[in-house]
Amino acid sequence: MGPAGFSWPSARAWSSTDDNTNPCGSPDGPSDRTDFPLTNGAVALVINEESYNINLAISYNSDPSTNADFEDLVNYSNFPVLEPGNECYSVPNPASGVKSGQNATLQLMYRSAGSDDSENKTYYACADITYVDLSSFTEEVSCYNYSKSTGVTSSASGVAPTPAATSGSSSSGGSSSGSSGTSSHELSGGAIAGIVIAIVAVVMIAASVLILKRWRKRERVWKARSAKLRMDELKRASKDAKGTTTSVPSAEA
């Protein structure tokens, strides 16, 4: 595959000599079609190289031959710049006139500098589908978001291409099915750093509380000692005053 492509539904055969040729970047026409739910559908993409201006379109022609045969499903303005990894995107439901058994072709059009970073080019990829009722759709699809740069995997919230979608990790060329739910990966550097910072913060707070308690305890002890010293001074002063009074001679003497 090129810098990006379909992980699901299955894409047409890739050719390095044709992947810049519209509308599908492949010498093959429609062949094996993938069952695709009429409602709550999604596409799983694999991104090998940074890609942008990504446009997802659809054609209901039996064999679309030009870009004009396609209509936008998700315009490039709604797609972020995609970095290497995996992405899962929900697909709008087709018009009410589209019924189960209707054939269609999904088109992915995007810009990328490719692996050699030589120049930005427009790339194409297509996936041929047949719409089916969601109740009849039984295929398990791996549809998830995974970033190679961070190593973080997340489920695609609100996207359920199957009643029991699965997720796993994929490095390039396609996605692999794993256990149900979000697959586990080693903690990323950012996650580890966050945990370390949190631990340090807790330790510092605990140390501050302990120091404050000790300071208050010492303050109470110091105040008690100061009060005792003051009382002792007052007692001595009182005794001295009494002694001075008894030693003064009387006027008659």
Q: Give the model confidence (pLDDT) of 69-125 as tens digits.
A: 999 998 888 777 888 999 999 999 999 999 999 999 999 999 998 766 678 899 999
Per-domain residue ranges for the chain? 4-185, 187-244
What would the two tokens of residue 158 be? Answer: 């609100």
Per CATH, domain 4-185 is 2.60.40: no
Query: Is there a contact between 170 and 85 (Cβ–Cβ < 8 Å)?
Result: no
pLDDT number for residue 157: 45
Report the distance separating Cα 156 and Cα 153, nearest Å. 10
Residue 247 phi, psi (nearest 5): -90, -5
pLDDT tens digit sequence for 115-153: 666 788 999 999 999 999 999 999 988 898 988 877 666
Instruction: Put the strands of the sheet holding 121-132 in their side by side order.
Output: 34-37, 121-132, 103-112, 51-59, 71-74
DSSP 166: B
Query: Is there a contact between 187 and 150 (Cβ–Cβ < 8 Å)?
Result: no
Q: Is the pTM of this model over 0.85?
A: no
Report the distance separating Cα 234 and Cα 243, nearest Å. 14
pLDDT tens digit sequence for 179-201: 333 333 445 455 566 676 778 77
